Amino acid sequence: MCLEHGLSIIEPRPYRERTKRTEYPKRVSNRDELRVAIDEALRKKPKDFDELVSFLVEAGCEYKPGKRPSVRCRGQERFARFNSLGEGYTVDDLKEVIAGKQQARAPVKNQQIHEKKFSLLIDIQAKLNEGKGAGYQRWATLFNLKQMAQVMCFLQENEINEFDELAAKADAAVARFNGLGDSIKAAEQRMREIADLKKHIVNYSKTREVYVAYRKAGYSRKFFEEHREAVTLHKAAKEAFERLGLQKLPRVKELNAEYAQLLERKKAAYPAYRKARTEMQEYLVAQKVAAVLLEKEKELAAMEEQRRQEKRDGQDR
């Protein structure tokens, strides 16, 4: 189990405290996956064997033609010849099925198709389990494996298994964080407005008599110089009220009550805001690592295919 925050990992329990497993789930072999993929392609009613192959490719499989046509599912290292998949799955059998001359074999009970746009947990776990072989060394140079383990832990806790799902949840986390941030900023802005308005109301009240006398003096220059500060404060207050479109000044007591409510709401929002920020950061880190993993996986797959092609070219010479 992983910690809720920080993408951290709890140390495993000592061996003597672990419960020994006595039952293991049946492992689905590569050939099982291939047979299921072919069954799924047959359900689409291909008009010929070539269209069957195109359905397999659309599902993420790779096809290798030749005297012994072979295929492999996404994530599988080796190709398997159709003729090695058993009765009902040879090229001739499949052509007979497509032509309606032979019944397709019934799919194995409870067999599931292992389709995945990008199975994060499987792919990350596979890299962590490659041991100290060439594959491990290759991935160790591309990734911080500890960070990969932390991200995998985070994905398990949140039951995320596909990149599109991770991206959607990351976007939602960003939106949630921004929404809370905007709410806090709005409260702070209104609190500043209230504080400014209170200041002008107090100044307006204190300088009202002076300004009335200034007006009765015919806006005398001499009176203004003698009471410059009070007159200036009063004018500034009137201009502020006009900008706000106030027909009637609110009571300071009412403003104090609104300010207190906003302050309380702001304080109450901060724990959720901090939690949303942590969640957003976790999702963004996981998304970044997964995106790099996906891109590198594609690069390495292309390199591997190029290596195999060069090997085939060398054998043909």
- Would 101 be classed as within a structural domain? yes
Residue 144 lies in a domain: no
Q: For residues 183 and 193, is the Cβ–Cβ distance under 8 A?
A: no
- Which residues, 6+ apart, have CB-to-CB distance to 195 below 8 Å? 259
Q: Is the pLDDT of residue 271 over 70?
A: yes
Number of structural domains, the chain? 2
Q: Residue 138 — pLDDT band, cuts 50, 70, 90?
A: low
- Identify whether 13 is part of a domain: no
Q: Is there a domain that residue 128 lies in?
A: no
67 neighbors 21 (Cβ within 8 angstroms): no
Q: What is the pLDDT of residues 180-212, one digit of tens each?
A: 999 999 999 999 999 999 999 999 999 999 999
Same domain, 186 and 264: yes
pLDDT at 308: 76
Please give the pLDDT value at position 32.
78
Residue 148, domain member (yes or no): no
Give the residue-averaged pLDDT of 36-61. 85
pLDDT tens track for 101-135: 777 665 544 343 333 333 444 455 555 455 444 55
Q: Which domain holds residue 49?
A: 30-115
The answer to whether position 109 is within a domain reads yes
Q: How crowded is residue 146: how many other Cβ atoms within 10 Å of its Cβ?
A: 11
Query: Angle 124-126-127 (CA atoms, 0-180°, nearest 5)?
Result: 70
Last residue of a domain, one of 88, 115, 142: 115
Classify residue 243: in a domain, yes or no: yes
